[in-house]
Chain A
Amino acid sequence: MQNLADRIVGQIGTVLLGKEQAVKLALACLLSRGHLLIEDLPGMGKTTLAQALANVLGLSYRRVQFTSDMLPADILGFSVFDRESNGFNFHPGPVFTQVLLADEINRTTPKTQSALLEAMEERQVTLEGETRPLPEPFFVIATQNPTTQSGTFPLPESQLDRFLMRIELGYPDSRAERALLMGINPRERLDDIQPLVSYDEFVVLQKQVDTIKASDSLLDYLQRLINYTRTAQEFSCGLSPRGSLALLRSARAWALIEGRQYVIPEDVQAVAPAVIGHRVRDAGDFGDPGGVALVERLINNVDVMGA
């Protein structure tokens, strides 16, 4: 497995330089059957990452660019009257795919946002009284611009909660940047990426996540972390049970990627900023729910051993 994970990460690394950690997190998210939210400035490689992931996993891929004048039908699809058959024909929207890249999701109105978010949660679309299942697997990789930028509709907490992880890419380091500048445009090399796993292999991998052992000791640590978010003054609200489940599942996937059959505290610590960061809020901060710094404090303050 390590081999495979390494190869996937290496493969994507050829188009997204110097972002191993982010790539692994994204992979862990998909292995845990969760949706991924990538938040960063424009031009940091969000779209590249999403497309590379889809390519390498051999999944069908659609991309929707969200704009402020978009309507739910633009994503979900619509029915058109067909004169020949004298009936309505359903034209499926871009949502009917395995990997959906929802680009700049916070540029559209809440109405359209929630249409997509509903599909994410139920993994099905109900239109005109007819329920249509989405393909398996179904991933949404959404990107959003920092909410401080103009022309954004920030996602409310309840909708942020639907994403298993939220990651940031950040600027590449200088070596990666130099390589980028010297090489050809990565976008053009995206098509060179060949699928490394088949769909069946991917499902097997996903199932393997559940077999990773989480010992009592580790669950104790996990609970200490969760309790800390619920009792410490600096957290305006604690982590929900859904959040704690997400943390454990992601830590398992992370251990799998690391090639281990059991979870260690470092796995939890590695995924915690991505999993918890968008679910908690600093009690002193009334702005953006961006608790990454808060999560770092959490990790530093909670004893791995138990007091």
Chain B
Amino acid sequence: MIPVFQIPRNSLVWLLVAQTLLILPHLPRLPVWILFAWFITVVWRVQIFRGLWPFPRPWVKVMIVLLCVMGLLSEYGRFFGIEPMVGLLITAFLLKLLEMRQKRDVLIVAFLGFFVAATQFLFSQTLLTTLYILLTVTALTTALLGVHQSEGHRYPWRSFKLAGTLIAQSLPLMLALFIIMPRLGSLWAVPQPEQRAATGVSDSMAPGDFSRLVQDKATAFRVTFDGDIPPPPFLYWRGLVLSDFDGRRWQQARFGRFRGDSVNWNNEPLEQWRSTVETTGEPLSYQVILEPTQQHWLYALPLASSSDERVGFTRDYRLVSRLPVNSRYQYQVDSHLNYRLQAQALSGSDLGRELYLPDGFNPRSVQQARQWFAQAGSPRAYIDRVLAYFTRDFTYTLEPPLLGQHSVDDFLWQTKRGFCEHFASAFVVMMRAAGIPARVVVGYQGGALNPLKNFLVVRQADAHAWSEVWLEGEGWLRVDPTAAVAPGRIESGLDSALSPAEAELLDDPFSLESYRSFALLDGIRLRLEVLEYDWHQWVMNYDQQKQSGLLNSLLGAVTPGRVAAALLISGFVVLAAVGAMLALSGRRAPLDPGDKLYRRFLRRLKSRGFQHHPGEGPRTLAKRVKSERPELNAWVSQVVNSYERYRYGEEGGQLELLRRLVREAPSRRI
């Protein structure tokens, strides 16, 4: 029987804790059976530790591995991709528990754990994630420590504290490396996570979509304005333009999202159609940090342009990103709030698209629209007529009644209760029925100002749908029918536009957003927002360009020599700080003046060729001097007498005498 290495208890405990911490955030992405596998391996491992169960036999291990691989394959259907790979890694991390026989195996599992911790960043890079990973890394370090600690270490918290100290000590160095280390491009392309639910506004709109979306308190994007923040009625963040209507659902126009001719990328020459835009006045510039949406489209105030290379401009005057936004995405925008779009004329195909209504839907609305348009006489008057109808007895509500096949008819003439998408949809249908080109625009409206840092936070709850109508000579105009029904929605946000009972529905007890009325909690919320914002600005956004800028300002010029010197110096500074801390904590009480004098006396003796021994008391020393260096005897015995009385005796106030005696050393050459 080969003697089996027993994992120290501390190490195993922390390994299991770290494993739990590591797997938890991955769980939503993992197949359910992993939980089961996890449970079995942990129980088995603990039983092995307790000496109750044996290690699994080889064929059992092979079976388990085969089962897991098959499970992963059936779950994901493929192997190349981030999620299956992470799944495989975590499965390996779990199963390796059953294989730990030697100290080496424990080390492997711990290092595997560090790797799993790093994969977490593929999915999320927020401040919270980072802190959480720091915690898991500390737990893993504790497990590593535990392997090397002797049997006597039985208190898990002590090891954890030690590991925490180690991690804390390594933080300054980590920071220095983060700032100074050259940012090499990734050596291989890191595949992006794929199976992820798109968040935020989707590319189609049907009744009920928005009332679901606004219950989400998550941040959609943050905006920093270079100048003043425009008032809320101007804050219409255009995301998508929906022109196709099938009677119930609005979708983007058929000409495709990315057909070459419809997107004008920033590195391409300006297309002809971009001249149909007229702007006046100075642009408003701002930065948007968009949370991942898994979509291409970007949000901006009309009329937006961006000088960012990754951004393109579409035929319907929106900004899009070349790649889907699957991690936080920052872009710079210039918006002209005074603009005219396609003021001259619409082409035949454009007109046909923006006027299209499916046959056989909403007959009553179509009929009513024609009647009102005839009565009104002009498109403007007709728009006012329709908006006036909305203001009369419509209710803005989160819980509109269900609508039938003729959704607009039902809404306009029967239920008269709806959310923004009902109003936008009905309004556009009414416009088109009267021959006025119109379309639905979805995006966000408004945003909450964070007074601490002066940036705007736009949440999913700010999602909104409105409409644009085209008038000859004026181009596309924004008309928001919701503003006619619930002006408060535009001016001060959703909460104020809903009845109190409905506003309560929006409250999520787990979101700080719901506690705005408590000053303290609101302060905390604002501060957290700022933290997250700064995190993005200073850490996530710290790229090669920013680094060279910072290093330039710090070092004067970025040369390899200077960077290396800066690395060395910062490393040295960190070590020096640690050393200083150690020296300070270990410093003894200041020396007694008498002891100082005696030390000086010993130095003088030494310079006269007499070396004392550490364990030698004054009197012994004097005796030795007497026999070895009789010429010094008179002086030494006087000093020793005086010192002995001062230091050990009862008479105080001998210090002056001692000082004088020490000073009166005989000259060196006798």
Chain A residues with CB under 8 A of B616: 304
B649 at the interface (CB under 8 A from A): yes
Of listed A265, A301, A305, residue having the most chain B CB within 10 A: A305
Q: Are B650 and A264 in contact (CB under 8 A)?
A: no
Contacts A262-B650, A266-B620, A305-B598; A217 near B592 (Cβ below 8 A): yes
Cβ of A98 under 8 Å from chain B = no
Judge whether B650 and A304 touch: CB under 8 Å: no
Knowing A217-B592, A264-B644, A306-B595, the reply to whether A269 touches B617 (Cβ < 8 A) is: yes
Closest to A269 in B: B617
Neighbouring A residues of B598 by C-beta, 8 Å = 305
Which residues does chain B contribute within 8 Å of A300, judged by CB atoms? Answer: 613-615
Closest residue of chain A to B598 (Cβ to Cβ) is A305
A239 to B221, CA, bound (A): 70
What string of 1s and 0s marks CB contacts (under 8 Å) between B585-615 and chain A?
A: 0001000100100110000000000000111
A301→B614 contact, CB < 8 A: yes
| Interface residue A302 (Cβ < 8 Å from any Cβ of B) | yes
A306 contacts across to B, CB distance below 8 A: 588, 595
- When each residue 639-652 of chain B gets 1 if its CB lies under 8 Å from chain A and 0 otherwise, what string results? 00000100111100
A136 contacts the other chain (CB 8 A): no
In the complex, which range does the number of interface residues on chain B fall in?
A: 10 to 19
Q: Which residues of B contact A213 (CB under 8 A)?
A: 648-650
B153 contacts the other chain (CB 8 A): no
Total contacting residues, chain A, CB less than 8 A? 20
**A288 CB, nearest partner CB in chain B, Å:** 25
Q: Is A237 an interface position by the 8 A CB rule?
A: no
Q: Do the beta carbons of B619 and A264 come within 8 Å of each other?
A: yes
A215 interfacial contact with B, CB 8 Å:
yes
Point out the residues of chain B lying under 8 angstroms from A218, CB to CB. Answer: 648
Per-residue interface assignment for chain A, residues 2 to 19, with 1 indicating a CB less than 8 Å from any chain B CB and 0 otherwise: 000000000000000000
Task: Decide if A265 touches B649 in the complex (CB within 8 Å).
Answer: no
Query: Which A residues between 291 and 307 are near B, CB-CB below 8 angstroms?
Result: 299-307
CA distance A307 to B589 in the complex (A): 11
- The complex places the Cα of A305 from the Cα of B599 at a distance, in Å, of 9
Which residues on the B side are within 8 Å of A303 (C-beta)? 614-615
Within 8 A of B (CB), among A124-170: none
Return chain B residues, CB-CB under 8 Å to A269.
Answer: 615, 617, 620
Residues from chain A with Cβ under 8 Å of B650 in the complex: 213, 261-262
Q: B613 — which chain A residues lie within 8 A by C-beta? A: 300
Q: Taking CB as reference atom, which chain B residue is nearest A221?
A: B617
B648/A302 in contact, CB under 8 A: no
User: Contact between A304 and B649 (Cβ–Cβ < 8 Å)?
Assistant: no
A215–B615 contact, CB under 8 A? Answer: no
Cα(A304)–Cα(B648), bound, Å: 12
B644 to chain A, nearest CB (A): 6
Cα separation A269 to B617 with both chains bound (whole Å): 9
Name the one of A215, A261, A262, A265 contacting B618, with C-beta atoms under 8 angstroms.
A265
Q: Of A264, A299, A305, A307, which is within 8 A of B648 by CB? A: A264
B615 partner residues in chain A, CB cutoff 8 A: 269, 299-304
Which residue of B is nearest A306, CB measured? B595
A54 contacts the other chain (Cβ, under 8 Å)? no
Q: Are A304 and B647 in contact (CB under 8 A)?
A: no
Q: A279 CA to B595 CA in the complex, in Å?
A: 31
CA distance A100 to B488 in the complex (A): 107
Chain A nearest CB from B396 CB (Å) reads 79
Q: Report the bound CA distance from A306 to B598 in whole Å.
A: 12
> In the complex, which residue of chain A has the Cβ closest to the Cβ of B623?
A266
Among A261, A265, A301, point to the contact of B617 (Cβ < 8 A).
Answer: A265
| Chain A residue at smallest Cβ distance from B616 | A304
Chain A residues in 8 Å Cβ range of B648: 213, 215, 217-218, 262-265
| Chain B contacts with A in 553-589, Cβ cutoff 8 A | 588
Complex interface residues of chain B between 185 and 203 (CB less than 8 A to chain A):
none
Cα A262 to Cα B650 in complex, Å, equals 7
In the complex, A12→B304 CA distance in Å? 114
- Which residues on the A side are within 8 Å of B649 (C-beta)? 213, 215, 261-262
Q: Which residues of B contact A215 (CB under 8 A)?
A: 647-649
**Cα A261 to Cα B651 with chains together (Å):** 11
A217 in contact with B619 (CB, 8 Å) = no
CA distance A278 to B614 in the complex (A): 24
Q: Which of B613, B620, B648, B650 has the most chain A CB atoms inside 10 A of its CB?
A: B648
CB-CB under 8 A for A266 and B617, given A217-B592, A218-B648, A261-B650: yes
Give B620's nearest chain A residue, CB to CB.
Answer: A266
Separation in Å of the A217 CB from the closest CB of chain B? 5
Distance between Cα atoms of A264 and B649 in the complex (Å): 8
List A258-292 residues whose CB lies under 8 Å from chain B: 261-266, 269
Residues of A contacting B595 in the complex (Cβ-Cβ under 8 angstroms): 217, 305-306
Q: How far is the CB of B100 from chain A (nearest CB, A)?
A: 34
Report Cα–Cα, A299/B617, bound state, in Å.
10
How far apart are A207's CB and chain B's nearest CB, in angstroms? Answer: 18
**Hey, which chain A residues are within 8 Å of B592, CB to CB?**
217
Smallest Cβ distance from A218 to chain B, in angstroms? 5
A263 to B619, CA, bound (A): 12
Apart from A213-B648, A306-B588, what 16 extra A-B contacts exist at CB < 8 Å?
Answer: A213-B650, A217-B595, A217-B647, A217-B648, A264-B619, A264-B644, A265-B619, A266-B619, A269-B615, A269-B617, A300-B614, A301-B615, A302-B614, A304-B615, A304-B617, A305-B598
Complex A-B: 22 CB contacts under 8 Å: A213-B649, A213-B650, A217-B592, A261-B650, A262-B648, A262-B650, A263-B648, A264-B618, A264-B619, A265-B617, A265-B619, A265-B648, A266-B617, A266-B620, A269-B620, A300-B613, A302-B614, A302-B615, A304-B615, A305-B599, A305-B614, A306-B595
The 8 closest A-B pairs by CB, nearest first: A265-B617, A303-B614, A300-B615, A266-B617, A262-B649, A217-B647, A266-B619, A215-B648
